[in-house]
Amino acid sequence: MSIDPLLQLLRRQARYSHKELAEVLSLSESEVAERLAAWEKNGTILGYQAVINPEAAGDDDVSAFIEVKVTPERGGGFDRLAMRIARFDQVVSCYLASGGYDLMVVVEGTDLREVARFVSEKLSTMDGVISTATHFRLKTYKENGFIFEETQGPERLAVSP
């Protein structure tokens, strides 16, 4: 089953008006409004966000991707522990993953030390967490479908001997 075309449009650009969405999809504005309200109510749409270029916004926060190996709980699998981890304020995203680790946790902090403290004092000390591996984000090229293009500085002249 593929995703509804209305949801596809919103995923790409959440700022479309109901009128614009209705025109693109050959629906009435009231149909669009009703469907969106129903999806917001039943949890299909959890919220709307802007994709921010942190460099352009002057955001100096640090992001890290943390691979977490855990012991699944009897009767709960990975879900209970993953939800406990997801509830921390520092956690931006938390995913169950395949491969050499079980969870991929995305964390933000004001600096490297804050992220390191979160990992060493909160995450790695939780019952059920076997190990963690932290990878710091150095630069973003693409996020949620948006490419972060660098502004081009003055072009350097070729140097020849």
Q: What is the CATH number of the domain that holds 28?
A: 1.10.10
Cα–Cα distance between 77 and 69 in angstroms, integer?
A: 13
Classify residue 156: in a domain, yes or no. no
Instruction: pLDDT tens for the chain, 161 residues: list them.
Output: 688 999 999 988 899 999 999 999 999 999 999 999 999 999 999 999 888 888 888 889 999 999 999 999 888 889 999 999 999 999 999 999 999 999 999 999 999 999 999 999 999 999 999 999 999 999 999 998 889 886 555 666 667 66
Cα–Cα distance between 44 and 20 in angstroms, integer?
A: 21
Asked if residue 58 and residue 38 are part of one domain, the reply reads: no
Range of the domain at 68: 54-139
Strand ranges for 31-111 from DSSP E: 62-70, 91-96, 103-109
Q: Is the dihedral of CA 21, 26, 29, 34 positive or negative?
A: negative
Strand ranges for 84-140 from DSSP E: 91-96, 103-109, 129-136
Cα–Cα distance between 148 and 33 in angstroms, integer?
A: 32
SS3 content of the chain, % helix, strand, coil (to 5): 35, 20, 45
Q: What is the CATH number of the domain that holds 129?
A: 3.30.70.920
Classify residue 160: in a domain, yes or no. no
Classify residue 65: in a domain, yes or no. yes
Classify residue 61: in a domain, yes or no. yes
Residues forming beta bridges with residue 71, ordered by sequence position: none
Asked if residue 93 and residue 35 are part of one domain, the reply reads: no
pTM of the model: 0.82
